[in-house]
Amino acid sequence: MARRPPSLQTRLLATLAVLLLVAAGVAAWALESLYRDLGLRARQDVLEAQVIALIASADLAGEGTLQPETLAEPRLATPGSGLYAEIADARGEVGWRSPSAVGSGLALEAAPPPGERVFQRLQLPDGTRLLALSLGIRWSLEDGSDRDFVIRAAESLEPWYDEVGRVRAWLLSASALMALLLLAGLAVALRIALRPLHRLEAEIGDIEAGRSELLGRSWPRELDGVTGNLNALLAGERKRLERYRTTLGNLAHSLKTPLAAMRSLIEHGRLDERRALAPHLDRMHGIVHHQLKRAVFGASGATVTDLPVQEPLEQLRGALQKVYADKRVDCALRVAADAAYPMDQGDFLELAGNLMDNAHKYCQRQVAVRATPWTSAEWRRPGLVLDVEDDGKGIPPAERRRVLERGARADETVAGQGIGLSVAREIATAYSGTVEIGESMIGGARVSVRLPGR
């Protein structure tokens, strides 16, 4: 069994979940980097302040060493406090080191020239990570000479790293929570958005079960096309079904009379009365012919694609040229290049074939067929006007209605001939079109079929 493709909801949610996780991760990472950046700068500022405080309190001691007179910062006096400082001379000899650095194994080597500073990140032997600042200074002695020193301060980054870790954990959990909430919200939104589809499913189920005939009105704009077409299809099918039912009923009823007559002829008639069966057979043929002609055309409407009419009209002309070869009919086709109509090809051939056949039958020498698009601002797809004219005797105004309706009733006797126009009218009606009979410029009848657009 082929696996069922995952539901639309699953597809959407899975895709969104991945996207959201990536987005949340990126957001957390960006926030964390920003936080680290700002934090590091703040640490640098602290170190600079420490160094400046040291300079402020420093003074030359004997043998040319520089050392602070007092320690304003108590952490410098506490061993292992995490804040360290030292002062070295130009040769790199450390003249003073803060008590906090005792036994820490601190080894700062940067020796920038006076006026410059160097930030460093290093690690103590016990693994403590430090940020260090070395600042070169020039000290003016009372005798007018200068001496260069380097003042260094370092601070443990461990508390800051701990903080960064906490912030990262918090950021991650916050973004994960946000992603989850968004996902849940989307799931709810999807359910709401897809509700019309569930409704559609339910309504189609109702139609299947025979509880309703058509889909309800008022659908979201996105579904309007589908539901509209579906309704048109359903209506078309229903019409067709009704036509079939009527046809079958008419057929059954109208065949009964000639059948009964034939039966009595067979049972009671003499052998030489066999010929009397013929008219009944003819009548039955007429009935079958007429009813089937009216029932077979498609007219499913919405599902049919545009049929360009040039080719079928040319085929019909070719066919009729053969059938009416003796008459040498001059049949002029004038088809606009874009003349097309959403119609079943068989229906169109039947419609145009009946009209053109009539025209060939009743004309003297000339038949003219014209197909033009019929446009209106209200239609997205244009309609079609088909005019078929001949130079025969024409159809008197009084006859016109009757000709179009001939054979419309089932119990009317109809020979094979003469129902062409009424068949054409029935096909046109099935496509919501009309058939009008008028007078032709070339002398005979003009039959105009107008099929509206949509």
Quick one: DSSP state of residue 362? H
Helix (H) or strand (E) holding 448: strand 445-451
Nearest to 121 by CA among 159, 154, 151: 154
Residues contacting 14, CB < 8 A, separation 6+: 6
The CB-of-313 to other proteins minimum distance in angstroms stands at 10
Q: How many CB atoms lie within 10 A of CB 253?
A: 12
The CB-of-346 to other proteins minimum distance in angstroms stands at 4
Give dist(CA 35, CA 32) in Å, integer.
5
Write out the residues near other proteins by the rule CB under 8 A.
281, 285, 289, 292-293, 296, 312, 315-316, 318-319, 322-323, 325-326, 328, 345-346, 349-350, 352-354, 357, 416
- CB nearer to other proteins: pick between 357 and 387: 357
Nearest to 232 by CA among 435, 433, 380, 430: 430
The CB-of-7 to other proteins minimum distance in angstroms stands at 44
Distance between alpha carbon 445 and the CA centroid of its chain, in Å?
51
- CB nearer to other proteins: pick between 132 and 369: 369
> Whose structure tokens read 């009365």?
273
Both tokens assigned to 451 = 């099929």
The CB-of-336 to other proteins minimum distance in angstroms stands at 21
- CB nearer to other proteins: pick between 59 and 326: 326
The CB-of-1 to other proteins minimum distance in angstroms stands at 39
- CA dist 38 to 31, 35, 41, 213, Å? 11, 5, 5, 69
- CB nearer to other proteins: pick between 164 and 295: 295
- CB nearer to other proteins: pick between 124 and 427: 427
Q: How many CB atoms lie within 10 A of CB 127?
A: 7
- CB nearer to other proteins: pick between 102 and 323: 323
- CB nearer to other proteins: pick between 325 and 441: 325
Burial class (CB in 10 A: 0-12, 13-18, 19+), 211: exposed
The CB-of-432 to other proteins minimum distance in angstroms stands at 21
The CB-of-450 to other proteins minimum distance in angstroms stands at 20
